[in-house]
Chains A and B, each alone.
Chain A
């Protein structure tokens, strides 16, 4: 009977366990993004839902657990589970030319988490302004995290200029990415409307 936790301690403990289990859920979502992906008949660019789930993780899990969920996802890929796009797996993909984008997901998740929390403080629940705020947070997080790191890595490994790397690695995906940002922000807002609130709220 010496170390009975107080009620306060038990809630924070439960919050931590809930946080890491929800992080596991988002890692699983990122991993199954390839399987659940919608088939877009016209475009040749693969429309995977990874970035959408990374943004949703940021908005939903917050800056503490969102990067953790991305780390879990990347580790799943690194140990050989087919969770990267087109069923790819292995440490080779993380270290290869497109690995920078994957590593950049960690920064994106954290940044979107920070900005999303900020948006929740300044805007009212269920307002159109909150949706706009989420979209801006997602765009900033994506460009400063995934795209910046990914392009730097691509340019460094292939020994080409930054602009050339961006032309190969970012521009063809922009339209689809914007669609995913809109989807992610809209989904989070509609989940909030149904009473499912992000962590730490």
Chain B
């Protein structure tokens, strides 16, 4: 794997793709609040409707949109069983030793599993329709208040691109040192675990030292070119939110308020 990391983003030209990443992030938070506060069948119906509309408008293939949640099924079934068996001992339908299956427990299990699956599907829709760099910028602008407690939020976007670039470099470095050690008689291919582990140890320290030398060289080069913490960096093309962004925000706001109303 010598290529840089690639994300899960699928390019497209649907209205969902075109929305501003900041608006999409806030929408995500609003919709997640709606999921967490959903308590009735109608509430879940509303959320399912919203999700289907998003997936349809964004033209996302179903296996990509639902896949990550679906792949968690072993985990989700454990959660369901734990909730169903241990939730409450009163009014059991069936009980044996410390296990009690009650209607309330089964309902609780369904509730929890649905919540987890819905959270995964909604946030997955964001990462599928938004380019990683756009989400980075949006996150950087949303976490600006953290500056007050001393976190260098302006550097975040810059440093993420540096980190992404480091991954293939590290793997290349590891490969080179591995070959150098093989030339000196190291036995990485050995079947015996202790021998294999022993041959890896002299590999790790040189990798670190080489990586740190690279990082410090990069820091020196950046400083020499005038980078000293992004400071108050202004965007090259200021992009205020547009009408569709506000519309999407309004819709999501309405959904979460409706959700609270349905709870009553």
Chain A interface (Cβ < 8 Å from any Cβ of B): 10, 13-14, 16-18, 20-25, 27-29, 31-32, 35-36, 38, 41, 67-68, 71-73, 75-76, 78-83, 88-92, 95-97, 157-160, 164, 168, 187, 190-191, 194, 196
Contact = CB atoms under 8 A, between A and B. Distances in A.
A72 B193 contact: no
B218 A75 contact: no
A90 B124 contact: yes
Contacts, number: 179
Interface stretch (B3-11, B90-98, B233-241): B3-11
A80 B127 contact: yes
A76 B135 CA distance: 10
Contacts of A187: 204-205, 208
A32 B4 CA distance: 11
Interface string B135-177: 1100100000000000110011001101110110011001000
A75 B28 contact: no
A27 B155 CA distance: 14
Contacts of B263: none
Chain B interface bracket (under 10, 10 to 19, 20 to 34, 35 or more): 35 or more
7 contacts: A28-B164, A28-B167, A29-B170, A32-B171, A75-B139, A90-B124, A95-B119
A35 B1 contact: yes
Contacts of B205: 187, 190-191, 194
A28 B212 CA distance: 12
B7 A96 contact: no
B219 A17 contact: yes
B222 A82 contact: no
Nearest to A15: B219
Max chain B Cβ within 10 angstroms of own Cβ: one of A27, A28, A79: A79
A73 B78 CA distance: 29
A97 B228 contact: no
A32 B167 contact: yes
Interface string B164-207: 10110011001000000000000000000100010010001100
B30 interface: no
B114 interface: no
A84 B5 CA distance: 12
B132 A81 contact: yes
Interface of B: 1, 5-9, 28, 32, 68-69, 75, 78-79, 82-83, 86-87, 108, 112, 115-116, 119-124, 126-128, 132, 135-136, 139, 151-152, 155-156, 159-160, 162-164, 166-167, 170-171, 174, 193, 197, 200, 204-205, 208-209, 211-212, 214-216, 218-220, 222-223, 227-229
B65 to A, nearest CB: 12
Nearest to A65: B152
Nearest to A21: B219
A36 B174 contact: yes
Contacts of B211: 25, 29
Given A17-B228, A72-B156, A187-B204, 7 more contacts: A13-B228, A14-B219, A36-B171, A71-B151, A79-B139, A96-B119, A97-B75
A14 B223 contact: yes
A194 B152 CA distance: 31
Given A32-B170, A41-B193, A92-B119, A17 B136 contact: no
A191 B208 contact: yes
A76 B229 CA distance: 19
B159 A20 contact: yes
B163 A28 contact: yes
Contacts of B197: 38
A20 B123 contact: no
B162 A21 contact: yes
Contacts of A95: 32, 119, 123
A2 to B, nearest CB: 16
B220 A92 contact: no
A92 B151 contact: no
